[in-house]
Amino acid sequence: MTDRRVAVIGLGNMGAAMAATLARAGFAVTGYDPAPDAGDRARAAGIALAASPAAAFAAADIAVLSLPMAAHVEAVLAGEGGLLAAADLTGRLVIDTTTSEPAVTRRLAAALAAAGHALVDAPVSGGPAGAAAGTLTMMVGGAAADIDRARPVLEALSAKISLCGAVGAGHVVKLVNNLLCAAHLLTVSEAVRMGVAAGVDAETLVGALNAGSGRAGVSEVNFPRWILSGSFDSGFTMGLMRKDVRLAEALAAETGQAMPLLEVAGRLWRESAADLADGEDFNRIAALD
């Protein structure tokens, strides 16, 4: 057994691209995803497809998870047919790139440790394009020895690794990041609409803004690439961002933190479900028309 054998569990927009990047970097990659078109995605990523999560864990020393949410992570680690149910497997390292829930992550990490496995949370920023290019930003939580073991995989997938603290800390940082991104989509859109109504061309306005102190990641990347261009094809959905906002709000409630401005942003994201379906691109909430 060597740490060059990696399973990627969840072959969606992010997971399939990460699997292809790891295969290109020389890892022997096995994928698993129950979706009917998973075989096509595995072929496109140049990887072998396992028939079950247990088979994927058996085929690799390290497993990268890229799943919709914490419940799916719990299912593949602690559910029927998951890692903890495979009593013959030991010493697996799980790298969870899902945008998940810190409390669930800590609980699963403890259960895995008791069974001789380890977990590092490494949620990502950078979208499917960053996953395909191996230039993601990763926010990592875990024990130093586990992060050292994960490092070759993390480095193949990312251009920047931020060490955030103990296990679960990566997921805390990711929720803070996405809550801000969700809020910035609303504030930048509102402000740009004001400038346009006052007579300035939208592209000129955003270009000038990006040289000024009012700029944000959203004005520098999302506006030119997906909103002003009208392409709305970022590969990240309204449904997933609404999930992230909900998780951030739960974290605020858990910590007793008052967030008067972000509370309004959270309400607007919740209410957007009436007009924007879960499958729509998340930048639609900032559309100018």
Catalytic residue ranges: 174
Comparison of 209 and 216: residue with beta carbon closer to ligand NAD = 216
Classify burial at 22, counting beta carbons within 10 Å of its beta carbon; exposed 0-12, middle 13-18, buried 19 or more.
Answer: buried
What 3-state DSSP class applies to 91?
coil
Residues 84 and 80: their CA atoms lie apart, in Å, by 9
Q: CA dist 119 to 77, 90, 191, Å?
A: 10, 13, 42
Among the residue ranges 68-76, 103-111, 195-203, 204-212, the one whose residues contact ligand NAD (CB under 6 A)? 68-76
Listed ranges 5-13, 84-92, 179-187, 245-253: which one lies at the site for ligand NAD (CB under 6 A)? 5-13
Instruction: Give me the residue whose beta carbon is nearest to ligand NAD.
Output: 12
d(CA 197, CA 130): 35
127 is an interface residue for ligand NAD by CB under 6 A: yes
Q: How big is the site for ligand NAD, counted in residues (CB under 6 A)? A: 28
Which among 13-21, 191-199, 220-228, 251-259 is the span making contact with ligand NAD, rule CB under 6 A?
13-21
Is residue 68 near ligand NAD by the rule CB under 6 A?
Answer: yes
Q: Which is nearer to ligand NAD, 58 or 191 (CB)?
A: 58
User: Interaction with ligand NAD in 135-164: which residues (CB under 6 A)?
Assistant: none
Q: How far is CA 141 from the centre of its chain?
A: 14
Q: Does 33 bind ligand NAD (CB under 6 A)?
A: yes
Q: How far apart are CA 173 and CA 62, in angstroms?
A: 23
Q: 23 or 240, CB closer to ligand NAD?
A: 240
CB atoms within 10 A of CB 78: 17
User: Position of tokens 């028309």?
Assistant: 289
Residue ranges that bind ligand NAD, judged by CB under 6 A: 9-15, 32-35, 53, 66-69, 72, 75-76, 98-99, 124-125, 127-128, 235-236, 240
